[in-house]
Amino acid sequence: MQVSAELFVKCLENEGVEFIFGIPGEENLHVMDALLNSSIQFITVRHEQGAAFMADVYGRLTGRAGVCLATLGPGATNLITGFADANMDRAPIVAIAGQGATTRLHKESHQILDLVSLFKPISRYSTMVMEPENIPEIIRKAFQEAQGDNPGGVFVCLPENIAGVKIAKDASPLQVHNLVSPHATDVSIECAAKLISAAQSPIIMAGNGVIRGHACKDLLRFAKHLNIPVAQTFMAKGAIPFSHDLSLGTVGLQAHDYVACGFDQADLVICIGFDMVEYHPNLWHPRRDKKIIHIHKTSPEIDAHYAVESAVVGDIANSLMKIARLTHPQALKRTDSLREIIIHELDGYAEENSFPVKPQRILYDTRKALDDEDILISDVGAHKMWIARLYRCEAPNTCIISNGFASMGIGVPGAIAAKLVYPDRKVLTITGDGGFMMNSQEIETALRYQIPIVIMIWNDSEYGLIKWHQQRRFGRTGFTGFTNPDFVKYAESFGAKGYRVNTADELLPTLQQAFADNTVVVIDVPVDYSENMRLTEKLGKLLLNS
């Protein structure tokens, strides 16, 4: 005989789960005991939100569902922010929570919440195990839903009395079948080809679905064959190399800058792997005067600003190949001047020695410190806007940005997950002082598991992004300031290393030393956010002068 929690864990092993991020509790004791004999490594974190963010980034980097685990009540509710972030950013995630015994779910009882209903609006599938015999079906369905063509979040709760029930020893997981995405119809392929051939000034907007669908090389071949420039959303940075002639850089700022001008001039927008949460169409298609082609594994979302002429729904790589065969290439148009705007903006600050350090100088030195395949995890805040616009990516999944749900606090736990997935790459998170303090306790987790990451804090002692918006909207600010601990001493109190940058010239050697230290390192960088209000204005002027 075996208890059902043992079958539960066997089903997770069957799905190829490597890590579970979480915190043990009274109502998941049977699962925790079963994990002692499992090949799955349990990563004990310091807060359930950190566990969910780790699962979120793991899912985004691998395409396999990241798994997080909590106990009932407050443990489960602490998962929600990271879980919602993954679900909205289309990262596969499976969240597991304990639950009180089924004998007390019908009444008011200690720490009992209707968790299935709580998670249902933010998940692809939310359920509770009511019978041990259903565990293989539930876990198989959970991973199939989480990792499907429209990936996202799945929630499963396991009541403590069900987890401890004895069941037949021969009860076993279901066989895993890897589903293949269907191909688009010939009619939709032909329609898209005709629209592109007839267009005078088409532009491609690549979304995160290109990366999820492993279609980056196919996108590049498609763009090169047809001579069509490519703009990438925040979440698709690196889908084609920034250095390529057809790269327009990143689009997504809620302001009219030089890439937006590229959309103004277009008569056809080819959205490839684009999800609406990445950059709402009313920002890049306000007049609804352009034709749109939607190429994705999933059908287009209904929106007044996203009325598509052709929806090519199916495997992205296959669709691009077939469309290219039927389409007349565009006359070659130079995009060098647009890309050079970013290069000019960064290179122009290479020797900028003012202090506190300007964002452009920080990102210039950061790019020098990281190889093309190394990973930058961006937390959410004012620094995210600078990273999204100016950090030059040469490879997919090397700059991770939370954008759909845009959750502060993802930086430190996300870096831990990235280093677990790619232990041979350098992993850096750039975070604001606000976002850092939301999950800084996970420094202890990284140290305990000997996961070397570098944490760069852009320190301005306020919620800089909110101040930026206040200035833009009202011309005055308020309620955004706070005080910080001594971040060097704070890092050292955990047993990590801490450095403070005191001049601009110290940044690059400090970064290089931090990676050489091969441990958890915190770098405190005072940042000059006076540049925020000038970002869009400066890019616009560069456009006019180019």
Indicate if the pLDDT at residue 513 is higher than 80.
Answer: yes
pLDDT at 115: 96
Indicate if the pLDDT at residue 522 is higher than 90.
Answer: yes
Q: Band of the pLDDT at 545, cuts 50, 70, 90?
A: very low
**Digit-coded pLDDT (tens) for 259-278:** 666 687 889 999 999 999 99
How far is Cα 128 from Cα 158, in angstroms, rounded to an integer? Answer: 6
Cβ atoms of residues 358 and 349 within 8 Å: yes
Q: What is the mean predicted confidence (pLDDT) over 499-528?
A: 98
How far is Cα 108 from Cα 276, in angstroms, rounded to an integer? Answer: 40
What are the φ/ψ torsions at residue 443 (nearest 5 degrees)?
A: -55, -40
CA dihedral 78, 160, 56, 297 (to 10 degrees): -130
pLDDT at 170: 84
Q: Band of the pLDDT at 339, cuts 50, 70, 90?
A: low
Q: What percent of the chain has pLDDT over 70?
A: 94
SS3 content of the chain, % helix, strand, coil (to 5): 45, 20, 40
Q: Are strands 166-167 and 2-3 parallel, antiparallel or unpaired?
A: antiparallel
Q: What is the mean predicted confidence (pLDDT) over 9-19?
A: 98
How far is Cα 63 from Cα 213, in angstroms, rounded to an integer? Answer: 9
Q: What is the mean predicted confidence (pLDDT) over 5-22?
A: 98
pLDDT at 248: 86
Q: What is the mean predicted confidence (pLDDT) over 498-526?
A: 98
Residues in the chain: 546
Indicate if the pLDDT at residue 254 is higher than 70.
Answer: no
Closest Cα to residue 435, out of 81, 160, 164? 81
Q: What is the mean predicted confidence (pLDDT) over 170-193?
A: 93
Q: What is the mean predicted confidence (pLDDT) over 78-82?
A: 98
Q: Band of the pLDDT at 131, cuts 50, 70, 90?
A: very high
pLDDT at 17: 98
Cβ atoms of residues 186 and 147 within 8 Å: no
CB burial readout 117-126, b (16+ within 10 A) else e: ebbeebbbbb
pLDDT at 542: 46
The whole-model pTM stands at 0.95
Handedness of CA 316, 322, 323, 324 (dihedral sign): positive
Q: Provide the CATH topology of domain 186-331.
A: Rossmann fold (3.40.50)
Mean pLDDT of the chain: 92
User: Helix axis angle, 316-326 relative to 186-198, nearest 10°?
Assistant: 50
Indicate if the pLDDT at residue 411 is higher than 70.
Answer: yes
**Digit-coded pLDDT (tens) for 437-454:** 999 999 999 999 999 999
Q: What percent of the chain has pLDDT over 90?
A: 79
Indicate if the pLDDT at residue 77 is higher than 90.
Answer: yes
Lowest-pLDDT range, 94-108, 334-348, 363-377, 479-493?
Answer: 334-348
Query: In the Cβ-directed half-sphere of 424, how many Cα atoms lie within 13 Å?
Result: 1
pLDDT at 256: 52
Cβ atoms of residues 413 and 455 within 8 Å: no
Cβ atoms of residues 482 and 434 within 8 Å: yes
Q: What is the mean predicted confidence (pLDDT) over 52-78?
A: 97
pLDDT at 259: 61
Domain 2-167 has CATH 3.40.50.970: yes
Indicate if the pLDDT at residue 316 is higher than 80.
Answer: yes
pLDDT at 338: 63
The structure tokens 């930058």 sit at 376
Q: What is the DSSP letter of 207?
A: -
How far is Cα 239 from Cα 259, in angstroms, rounded to an integer? Answer: 16
Number of Cβ within 10 Å of residue 282's Cβ equals 12
CB burial readout 524-533, b (16+ within 10 A) else e: bbbbbbebbe
Q: Band of the pLDDT at 544, cuts 50, 70, 90?
A: very low
How far is Cα 153 from Cα 176, in angstroms, rounded to an integer? Answer: 19
Q: DSSP string spanning 324-367? A: HHHSPPPPP---HHHHHHHHHHHHTTTT---SSBPHHHHHHHHH
More confident residue, 24 or 342: 24
CA 520 to centroid of chain Cα atoms: 22
Contacts 24+ apart (CB under 8 A), 167-171: 167/1, 167/2, 167/3, 167/4, 167/7, 167/132, 167/133, 168/1, 168/2, 169/1, 169/2, 171/2, 171/7, 171/132, 171/133, 171/135, 171/136
What is each CA distance from 263 to 65, 125, 483, in whole angstroms?
Answer: 35, 37, 42
How far is Cα 28 from Cα 21, in angstroms, rounded to an integer? Answer: 13
3-state secondary structure of 7: helix
Q: Would you list the domain boundaries of the chain?
A: 2-167, 186-331, 338-539
pLDDT at 348: 84
Burial of 178 (0-12, 13-18, 19+ CB in 10 A): exposed
Domain 338-539 has CATH 3.40.50.970: yes
CA dihedral 184, 124, 282, 214 (to 10 degrees): -50
